[in-house]
Structure 1
Amino acid sequence: MSITFLGPLSSGGEKLPFYSFQVPAGFPSPAADHIEKHISLDELFNIRAPHVYLVKIEGDSMQGAGIYGGDLVIVDRSVYAEHGDIVIAALNSEPICKRLHMRQHEVILMSENPKYPARHVMEGDELLIWGLVKYSVRSHEKT
């Protein structure tokens, strides 16, 4: 698995309508009178904050967590990583996206796909946590 840093968004942003009802996966008929307010996705996900950035995921090692190759993840570098968090990190200068497991003095970077083994952080390894994955965005467009 590899990742591509996309960085922060440029200034600006369009506000989109937010409907106040839940949409079933059938044949909804949204009407203009159900619009509660207009929201901005960058405001909703706090993307414009200086400590938040976007990363494009490549590979399938995190599919069990719902993160697939081609997905964009929204990463917050201002939050301290804890056991169970999904992180963007560098292990010995290799950028990765994994679930962080910390037990006593042991640190393990876990894939969410049984095809990939856990990566134990050993003495002498360099692990840098670049941020926590807060959200993921996936395109459902046919390619």
Structure 2
Amino acid sequence: MLDKDNKLHFFIPSFDNGTELPYISEGIKAGFPSPASDFEETKISLDSFLIKNKEATFYAKAIGNSMTGAGIDNGDILVIDRSLEPSDNKIAICYIDGEFTVKRIKITNQKLFLQPENDSYKPIEVLEENEFMIWGIVTYVIKKMIY
């Protein structure tokens, strides 16, 4: 997350206190209701579900609205895996010229762009003179439902 000095803070998942909660593995229908007796309850730990490589996984809080079209809203928690290979069309945490940003990777005509998912923002072309690194790939977005 960004603090008052505009610095991004990453959080390392804690596996010491994982909590297993009831989980309906067959899913909940978003269409017509299904009798509750059809569901068999099991247990799940969200840490185990969301994190495949715990040594390379971090959380960060999204700030801003440049990625709303990709389902990433201000305040969402991003699950970032640094062990995944970056490629075209993946959403990545990128470090460019001293700042972190979350954008979609776009490769066209041998050029690299950091593509926002909001028409109010312009793509960022990554040039040779930029200090640039793809820091990790976003694997999940955790969001709070607003009521």
Bin of the TM-score, shorter chain as denominator length? 0.7 to 0.9
Q: Which runs of 5+ in 2 are unaligned?
A: none
2:87 to 74, 82, 88: 82
- Quote the Cα distance in structure 1 between the aligned partners of 2:137 and 2:53: 16
Q: Which residue of 1 aligns with 2:106?
A: 101
Q: Structure 1 residue 136 and structure 2 residue 138: aligned?
A: no
After the TM superposition, which of the residue ranges 14-23 and 55-64 deviates more from structure 2?
Answer: 14-23
Runs of 4+ off more than 2 Å: 2-6, 24-31, 33-36
**Contact 1:7 1:54 (C-alpha < 8 Å) held by counterparts:** yes
Structure with the higher fraction of residues in strand conformation: 1
1:114 alignment partner, one of 114, 119, 127: 119
Aligned equivalent of 2:75: 70
In structure 2, the partner of 1:8 is 12
- Output the CA distance in 1 between the equivalents of 2:146 and 2:56: 29
Gapped runs of 5+ residues in structure 1? none
1:20 equivalenced with 2:25 (yes/no): yes
AA aligned to 2:97 is N
Q: 1:47 to 1:8 in 2, by over 3 A?
A: farther
Q: Is the 8 A contact 1:18 1:37 kept in 2?
A: yes
User: CA shift at 1:36, angstroms?
Assistant: 3.8
Q: What's 1:127 paired with?
A: 132
Query: In structure 2, the residue corresponding to 1:43 is in which secondary structure?
Result: helix
1:69-92 deviation per Cα after TM superposition (whole angstroms, max 9, x unaligned):
000010000011001110001111
Q: CA RMSD in A?
A: 2.2
Partners of 2:9 and 2:53 in 1: how far apart?
Answer: 15
Task: Give the distance between the partners of 2:109 and 2:53, measured in 1 at CA.
Answer: 36
Measure how far apart 1:136 and its partner are. Answer: 0.2
**C-alpha distance in 2, partners of 1:93/1:29?**
54
TM-score, normalising length: structure 2: 0.84
Residue matched to 1:35: 40
Which is further off, 95-104 or 68-77? 95-104
Name the SS for the 2:48 alignment partner. Answer: helix
Whole-Å Cα distance in 2 between the matches of residues 48 and 123 of structure 1? 31
Identity over aligned pairs, percent: 30
